[in-house]
């Protein structure tokens, strides 16, 4: 089996997008808690912050786990799922990662 650079590149892109999703998700959560503590935030805004941040954190974790699978060339399905969720967190990086993961399916065990 010929080992190419494609899954490694897709894995690195997935991990970068996942880290960005985690940072944004935790940033929204912490920032919302600080602003809610300092000021009297409306209840609808206090409810909206977890609705935005929790999916970002979950998508970031899937991105990172899919990126790790792509790096080690194991579990192609999870690597593909990580690339698909990267489309949501970072569309440009996600398209590149998805194409690279899809065309390198034969390299996974």
Cα-to-chain-centroid distance, residue 2: 28
19 located within any domain: yes
pLDDT in tens, 2-53: 889 999 999 999 999 999 999 999 999 998 888 877 888 787 777 888 898 9
**Which residues, at least 6 apart from 59, have a Cβ–Cβ distance to it below 8 Å?**
18, 21, 85, 88, 89
55 located within any domain: yes
82 located within any domain: yes
Range of the domain at 67: 6-102
108 located within any domain: no
109 located within any domain: no
Centre a 10 Å sphere on the Cβ of residue 42 and count the other Cβ atoms it contains.
Answer: 10
Q: How far apart are the first and last CA of the chain?
A: 10
Kindly tell me if the per-residue pLDDT of 109 is higher than 90.
no
Number of domains in the chain: 1
């Amino acid at each position: 089996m010929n080992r190419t650079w494609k899954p490694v590149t897709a894995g690195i892109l997935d991990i970068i997008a996942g880290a960005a999703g985690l940072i944004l998700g935790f940033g929204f959560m912490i920032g919302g808690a600080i602003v809610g503590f300092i000021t009297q935030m409306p209840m609808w805004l206090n409810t909206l912050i977890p609705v935005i941040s929790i999916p970002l954190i979950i998508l970031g974790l899937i991105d990172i786990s899919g990126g790790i699978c792509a790096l080690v060339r194991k579990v192609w399905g999870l690597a593909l799922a990580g690339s698909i969720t990267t489309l949501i967190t970072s569309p440009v990086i996600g398209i590149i990662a998805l194409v690279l993961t899809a065309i390198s399916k034969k390299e996974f065990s």
